[in-house]
């Protein structure tokens, strides 16, 4: 009973602590609000990847296989547990499993609960029945082997590159995710605020630009699906762009050129907006007006002969991190590849070719670079080199309408 009393006291204190926020009762209701928004028909579920079920990403990869293995192994340990353990731990384990099945953002929480339940189940079992020494030694050896494989793989970025995940090993803010160079440029050169920005960039823009500096950010439940849906549609397609920027008084746009393809296409052809900064992740556009005249005179980009990426920000802010092998980190082709894709989109085939070649020098198996460079070589009549790069590509992909349209675009740009 003493343990039950302690657990009840802790639960009471934790429950009362939920009221110790500026949101009061609304903060207590928030977990229930969030639960109603994931795994449902709520607009947020359609817009936000992490609200989706892990089965969307089912396949033979470490993420999904690891989730399945942990689930079944931890469940199996309940067969060794005492009845009181089933009553005390199994409901909690089940609740977190259901949360993880509703949205993969909850898998980490389930992993903590599953590990806790597994350890206690096996500890109680070993207290009742001696465990063979060979089994103990085998489990310890397995854990050591996992550590010897996964720790170096994570620290060298080999795991992240192989699984094509976004994170990278290190401390601080990742330039692969945050518009660090773009915001340095905006601050240093006085580009007008507020900024029209991508959802994923909003938190960093808010951090650097202060209140009322952003169009939208990651406070999903604050905005709600009805606000986010038209905002994301604007960013993806450009629909309602001029009306919304005029209404909000926006003269600066910070977009991710690989994500907001529709808005990028609109701005690239619009005489009312001028590009003044770019790097592997972002482009900064400013409205053509007297307010931005000085900025445009100094930094406006000519895509036929562009300045180096990151120009106007901190020195080296937009240059790719890896030009050759660096130990212990595995060379990362993503920045080079994304710059190459940008040059391709604006019709600068020579620059695109150069950056795709540099990406393949440090990561020869990078699929996207091989495919795009193969198309460039084909348009340049370098058939042998094109064939060597496209040989392993999916034939159905090579015959798809998207591929053929892209090939035609590259050939027209290369002929100019």
Least confident range from 27-41, 157-171, 287-301: namely: 27-41
40 and 123 share one domain: yes
Quote the tokens at residue 69. 């293995």
**Is the predicted pLDDT of residue 398 greater than 60, yes or no?**
yes
Nearest to 199 by CA among 176, 227, 171, 167: 227
Cis amide linkage into residue 328, ω under 30° from 0:
yes
Are residues 140 and 59 both part of a single domain? yes
Regarding whether 355 and 408 lie in a shared domain, the answer is yes
Letter string b/e over residues 131-142, b meaning 16 or more CB atoms within 10 A of that residue's CB: eeeeeeeeeeee
Alpha helix (H) ranges present in 249-348?
261-269, 293-299, 334-345
Domain boundary among 299, 323, 351: 299
Banded pLDDT at 59 (limits 50, 70, 90)? confident
65: helix, coil or strand? Answer: helix
Lowest mean pLDDT among 105-114, 260-269, 393-402: 393-402
Residue 45 included in any domain: yes
Tell me how far apart the alpha carbons of residues 409 and 404 are, in angstroms, rounded to a whole number: 9
Least confident of 17-26, 93-102, 188-197, 293-302: 17-26
Q: Does residue 320 belong to any structural domain of this protein?
A: no
Residue with more model confidence, 370 or 29: 370
Residue 409 token pair: 């675009």
Within this chain, do residues 219 and 150 fall inside the same structural domain, yes or no?
Answer: no
Q: Which residue has the tokens 């592997």?
A: 280
d(CA 32, CA 366): 43
Kindly state the average pLDDT of the residues 327-344.
Answer: 85
- The count of structural domains within the chain is 4
To the nearest whole number, what is the mean pLDDT of the chain? 84
Are residues 226 and 263 both part of a single domain? yes
Secondary structure of residue 300 in the 3-state scheme? coil
pLDDT over 90, % of the chain: 31
Is residue 185 domain-shared with residue 292, that is, in the same domain?
Answer: yes
In-domain check, residue 285: yes
C-beta of residue 72 within 8 angstroms of C-beta of residue 24: no
Residue 349 domain-assigned (yes or no): yes
In whole angstroms, give the CA distance from residue 101 to residue 49. Answer: 14
Among 64-68, 139-143, 318-322, 372-376, whose mean pLDDT is lowest? 318-322
**Is residue 327, in this structure, part of any structural domain at all?**
no
Which CATH number characterizes residue 355's domain? Answer: 1.25.40
Between the CA of residue 65 and those of 54, 186, 236, what are the distances in Å?
A: 11, 43, 32
Q: pLDDT band for 45, please (50, 70, 90 cuts).
A: low
Q: Which residues pair with 277 in a beta bridge?
A: 284
174 close to 180: Cβ distance less than 8 angstroms: no
Same domain, 184 and 270: yes
The answer to whether residue 95 is domain-embedded is yes
Whether residue 170 is contained in a domain is answered as no
CB 279 within 8 A of CB 310: yes
Asked if residue 40 and residue 129 are part of one domain, the reply reads yes
For residues 332 and 128, give the distance between their C-alpha atoms in angstroms, rounded to a whole number. Answer: 51
- pLDDT tens for 222-254 read 676 677 778 888 888 888 899 988 888 899 999
Residue carrying the six token digits 């063979």? 132
Domain that holds residue 382: 334-415
Sort strands 252-256 and 195-197 into parallel, antiparallel or unpaired: parallel
Question: What is the band of 324 on the pLDDT scale with cuts at 50, 70, 90?
Answer: very low
């Amino acid at each position: 009973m003493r343990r039950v009393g302690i657990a009840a006291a802790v639960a009471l204190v934790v429950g009362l602590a939920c009221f110790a926020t500026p949101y009061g009762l609304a903060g207590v209701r928030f977990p229930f609000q969030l639960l109603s928004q994931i795994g449902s028909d709520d607009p947020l579920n359609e817009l936000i990847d992490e609200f989706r079920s892990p089965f969307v990403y089912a396949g033979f990869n470490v993420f999904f296989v690891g989730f399945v293995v942990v689930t079944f192994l931890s469940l199996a340990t309940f067969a060794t547990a005492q009845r009181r353990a089933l009553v005390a731990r199994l409901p909690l384990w089940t609740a977190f499993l259901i949360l993880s099945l509703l949205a993969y953002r909850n898998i980490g929480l389930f992993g903590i609960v599953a590990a806790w339940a597994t350890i206690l189940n096996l500890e109680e079992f070993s207290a009742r029945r001696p465990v063979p020494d060979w089994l103990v030694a085998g489990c310890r050896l397995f854990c050591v082997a996992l550590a010897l494989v996964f720790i170096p793989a994570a620290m060298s970025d080999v795991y992240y590159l192989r699984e094509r995940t976004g994170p990278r090993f290190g401390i601080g803010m990742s330039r692969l995710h945050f518009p660090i160079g773009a915001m340095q440029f905006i601050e240093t050169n006085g580009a007008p605020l507020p900024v029209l920005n991508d959802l994923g960039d909003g938190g960093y823009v808010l951090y650097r630009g202060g209140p009322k500096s952003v169009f939208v950010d990651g406070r999903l439940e604050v905005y709600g699906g009805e606000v986010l849906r038209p905002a994301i549609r604007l960013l993806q397609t450009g629909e309602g762009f001029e009306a919304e920027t005029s209404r909000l008084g926006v003269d600066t746009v910070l977009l991710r050129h690989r994500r907001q393809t529709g808005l990028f296409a609109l701005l690239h052809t619009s005489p009312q907006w001028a590009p003044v900064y770019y790097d592997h992740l972002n482009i900064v556009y400013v409205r053509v007006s007297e307010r931005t005249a000085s900025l445009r005179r100094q930094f406006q980009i000519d895509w036929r002969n562009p300045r180096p990426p990151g120009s106007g920000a901190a020195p080296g802010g937009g240059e790719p991190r890896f030009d050759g092998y660096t130990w212990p980190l595995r060379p990362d082709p993503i920045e080079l590849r994304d710059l190459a894709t940008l040059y391709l989109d604006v019709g600068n085939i020579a620059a695109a070719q150069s950056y795709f070649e540099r990406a393949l020098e440090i990561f020869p198996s990078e699929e996207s670079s091989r495919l795009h460079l193969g198309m460039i070589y084909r348009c340049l009549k370098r058939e042998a080199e094109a064939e060597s790069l496209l040989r392993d590509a999916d034939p159905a992909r090579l015959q798809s309408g998207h591929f053929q349209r892209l090939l035609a675009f590259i050939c027209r740009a290369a002929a100019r």
